[in-house]
Structure 1
């Protein structure tokens, strides 16, 4: 066996070991986080929503400052454009400060908006399925899909908070399942 073959074998073994560790650790983290989401959905949702709201608030403040700075330092902006940039910058900063002043409420509003958006999308998907049912080969499945989609969309629109919590809980279940699959993959890599 030559030195080149030994080096290539060592590199492949190191890469396989690295993949095992990556899959295993990633899978275990997903399982733990998924179990937290499943067994403490309100707490984990609160932390996550607060973090997301903080990111949105920080983004709004930075964007406002950029608009304001552009209005002041740009040489190519005309009078009305400059005024528009200043007003937009002020609005962004005010919005960001409002978000940052109550992160939990902003997070809940974000979750509700997401849930309502998904509800509207599912409702439109169902209507679209009904509209295209006559042109498909599987009319029955298309109509069943349309019925389920419309019911799910209406349910989310009538109870967006319950829908948001259900989607959060389903995310936790998927994290546990996918984490378990990753851990199994960690033991199968290289064999």
Structure 2
């Protein structure tokens, strides 16, 4: 029979053997992460366009920073060969250019990124389906392997054929998942450590 400190709300941690400060830290960390997931999920569901544009802006800023770092490595990285330094500078400048283009055309750039991500997911499903069919003779249940392979291929083709619709469905699904995970996480954060039988000071 499980004890109160070893169940769902303990995250697999023996709560009776850890300091109270650690309990509080885990509770705060879990609560913050869950709150962020919930906020992002609600934002994606209510304001999908604006939320994706914020994500696109963050990606653009990340590209700028990454490009600057890559360029700096090429300029000041004396430990590398001349060819590697030149390549690093060229790649860095290209990444910076990509970041600038994305930030200057945020709406269009974000839409293109979403479509590319969706198409990549669809292609991945097609590849997974083909691999499942090829390896079906090695599966414990060949019929199920073939069925799953065909479903994966058909789903991938549908995503690639209609990426815009698929992206809308995909982000709606992600938003719902984030909201559910956020709510569950907040409940767990609130209840985490409530089943301790002893309190150990750090």
Scaled by the length of structure 1, the TM-score of the pair is 0.75
Cα distance, 1:83–1:130 mapped onto 2, change above 3 Å: closer
Asked whether 1:159 is paired with 2:162, we answer yes
- 1:120 Cα deviation after fit: 0.8
- 1:168 Cα deviation after fit: 1.9
Which residue of 1 is the match for residue 29 of structure 2? 22
Which residue of 2 is the match for residue 181 of structure 1? 184
Asked whether 1:13 is paired with 2:20, we answer yes
Which residue of 2 is the match for residue 52 of structure 1? 59
Gaps of 5+ in 2: 1-15, 196-202
- 1:116 Cα deviation after fit: 1.4
Cα distance, 1:43–1:137 mapped onto 2, change above 3 Å: same
Which residue of 2 is the match for residue 147 of structure 1? 150
Which residue of 2 is the match for residue 3 of structure 1? none
Residue pair 1:57, 1:100 contacting (<8 A) in 2 also: no
What is the DSSP-based 3-state SS (H/G/I as helix, E as strand, rest coil) of the residue aligned with 1:137? coil
What is the DSSP-based 3-state SS (H/G/I as helix, E as strand, rest coil) of the residue aligned with 2:140? coil
Which residue of 2 is the match for residue 119 of structure 1? 122
Alignment length, in residue pairs? 178
Taking only aligned residues, the RMSD between alpha carbons, in angstroms, comes to 2.9
Scaled by the length of structure 2, the TM-score of the pair is 0.71
